[in-house]
Structure 1
């Protein structure tokens, strides 16, 4: 499935998907939410600009593009992202390993602190 709308919504979203809540060097991904299919840098951005409660990306759709690399614009499936060991497989940009502490907010059935 091709993702057509990779617009990243949120608060003070920069060109590499950093936002008002997470703006470190490796905070360069945006995630699609299961509730609306839209990309946000973080759940706090979703809460700030969406008119509904956030829902994580559904497990049965983990093979679909749901993670956007803000450096190169590549989209990854959840499975590809989780297997990438915090590095974009397309451009080698490092991803923040601290995101693992929040997996349960973004990916249905994936526990935080996944190893």
Structure 2
């Protein structure tokens, strides 16, 4: 069963009111609550608590959902990829600008 994605999603591929280009197809499971949201802004709007990033040692944590095939990726898989390793769908390369909000990456 595919995880539920919370927040103001606009389609089945996890796009939201904030990010909805053809490449915006991932949702992030937030370390603070364990819930999936399409983006940090959705979490801010819908959650009743502040977000916090996954710690550096959480690279094996399944915390990214591909909106195309619904595969749950590890943090390490996601940050090393430009496409979903399961279905080949392209990810938005500009999402890397937000990685520090979601993940404390190892040095």
TM-score exceeds 0.5: yes
Alpha-carbon shift at residue 110 of structure 1 (Å): 6.3
Q: 1:44 to 1:5 in 2, by over 3 A?
A: same
Q: CA offsets, 1:39-63, max 9 Å, x none?
A: 1110000000000001112222210
**CA distance in structure 1 between the aligned counterparts of 2:52 and 2:29, rounded to whole angstroms:** 10
Task: Extract unaligned runs of 5+ from structure 1.
Answer: none
| CA-based RMSD | 1.7
Counterpart of 2:83 (choices 83, 87, 90) is 87
Tell me, what secondary structure is at the counterpart of 2:99?
Answer: helix
Alignment of 1:59-98 (within 5 A): 59-84=56-81, 86-98=82-94
For the pair 1:45 / 2:51, whether they are aligned, the reply is: no
Q: Distance in 2 between matches of 1:71 and 1:110?
A: 28
2:33 matched residue in structure 1: 36
> What is the number of residues matched between the two proteins?
107
Give 5+ residue unaligned stretches, structure 2.
none
Task: State the partner residue of 1:105.
Answer: 101
Task: Work out whether 1:9 is the aligned partner of 2:39.
Answer: no
TM-score (norm 1): 0.86
After superposing on structure 2, the runs of 4+ consecutive aligned residues of structure 1 that deviate more than 6 Å are none
Distance 1:103 1:49 in 2: 20
Contact preservation (8 Å) 1:103, 1:110:
no
